[in-house]
Amino acid sequence: MRSFRNYALLVSLLPALLLMMLTPVKAEDSFFSVDIEIASFDQSQLDRYFAEAMAALLVRVSGNPDITALPATQSFSSQARKWVQNYQLVNRQIDGVVVGQNVRVEFNTSKLVPALQQANVAIWPESQRPRLLIVGDWLQRGLSAQISNEGFIFRPDLDFRHYLDLIGLPQVYLAHNEQYHSHGISPLPQIFSEQNLVSLQQASDEGVTHVVVVSAQVVGDVVQVRSQYYDLAGNKLRWEQVLLGENFNQLVLETFDRILLEESTQYFAKSNISATLWLEIDHLPDAAAINHIERRLSANSLVFDQIRLVQIEGRAAHFNIHYRGDLKTVLANVEAVLPVRMVFDDRAVGHVRYHYQYSN
């Protein structure tokens, strides 16, 4: 989510499978507690802290980095205070050393979870998430640093662990830099062998499911981040990508946004859950056109599970549509049965707008 990343001070590259319908889930209270980093506490900024925490929480529970751009979710951030159960100042610690303060915001799960489900925001259970072992290095002008718990002590500017905590991706690191040698990954190989992966898995805690390799190189003002995503279930490379930019943290966060979105999408797809589309149609001639829209879309029950009129604003109608299948096919069905022309397409966040076309 673009606005959320601004909050984090640090969008995914794939289309989003966004909001899903789910049966009620049991929420872990700690999963609904968010730490926001602050320079110094300011009581007058409480609403801003709460809004930042809610934006982070929405990304975390949904697995969608861009969810706060969806109209149906924006009121959660703008009215975040109503969902807050408690907040407190806590020390921000890195490897046992106090480096600042956080505002810890605890949300009322008994009220918030039903409200999220009512807004068709699916919750990706904490127990269903991948556990990532993250390795990598940083190269600049002949100097190098390695990604490990020890490495972050020497290079705190490369430390991205807080972001993964915010978005709810469980993470594990090698404790010491010397372990790169013992696992045969110093220097980092272009492709990790099955032996490399097995060695890392055996040395890490039992729950690790994937290995993420992040290798950064700085040439002049350009940062290149090469990322690889390995699935330990088959010891295979899922994907590799190379990103170029000016900011290491920004590029790394895009990598983890991609993982977050892919894994949540895969979970919801396996659950056979219907997705949600926020559909706006404006320039409507009269109320009869709204009935016509609902009738024509409802006729295709193989694609459309539910069409719900959410609000009417002037000559525009806003629909919440639950559908099955590919979104491209869904939009083709909309355009085939209705006299409409697309004027806004942000299908990455499940939001499209059409002009209704009619003859006078």
pLDDT at 345: 87
pLDDT at 3: 45
Please give the average per-residue pLDDT across 35-39, as a whole number.
93
pLDDT at 20: 31
Give me the CATH topology for the region 129-273: Rossmann fold (3.40.50)
| Confidence class for position 350, pLDDT limits 50, 70, 90 | confident
User: For residues 169 and 209, what is the distance between their CA atoms, to the nearest angstrom?
Assistant: 12
More confident residue, 268 or 340: 340
Give yes or no for residue 252 having a pLDDT over 90: yes
Please give the average per-residue pLDDT across 303-323, as a whole number.
88
User: For residues 315 and 45, what is the distance between their CA atoms, to the nearest angstrom?
Assistant: 38
pLDDT at 11: 30
Q: Find residue 240's DSSP bridge partners.
A: 228
For 118-151, the pLDDT digits (tens) are: 887 888 989 899 999 999 999 998 889 999 999 9
pLDDT at 242: 97
| Confidence class for position 359, pLDDT limits 50, 70, 90 | low
Give yes or no for residue 353 having a pLDDT over 80: yes
Residue ranges covered by each domain of the chain: 1-126, 129-273, 275-356
* Percent of the chain residues topping a pLDDT of 90: 60
pLDDT at 346: 79
More confident residue, 238 or 300: 238
Give yes or no for residue 262 having a pLDDT over 70: yes
* Averaged pLDDT of the chain: 86
pLDDT at 25: 38
* Percent of the chain residues topping a pLDDT of 70: 89
pLDDT at 2: 44
pLDDT at 360: 56
Give yes or no for residue 5 having a pLDDT over 70: no
| Confidence class for position 274, pLDDT limits 50, 70, 90 | low
Q: In the CATH scheme, what architecture does the domain 275-356 have?
A: 2-Layer Sandwich (3.30)
Least confident of 121-125, 217-221, 271-275, 283-287: 271-275
pLDDT at 254: 95
pTM of the model: 0.73
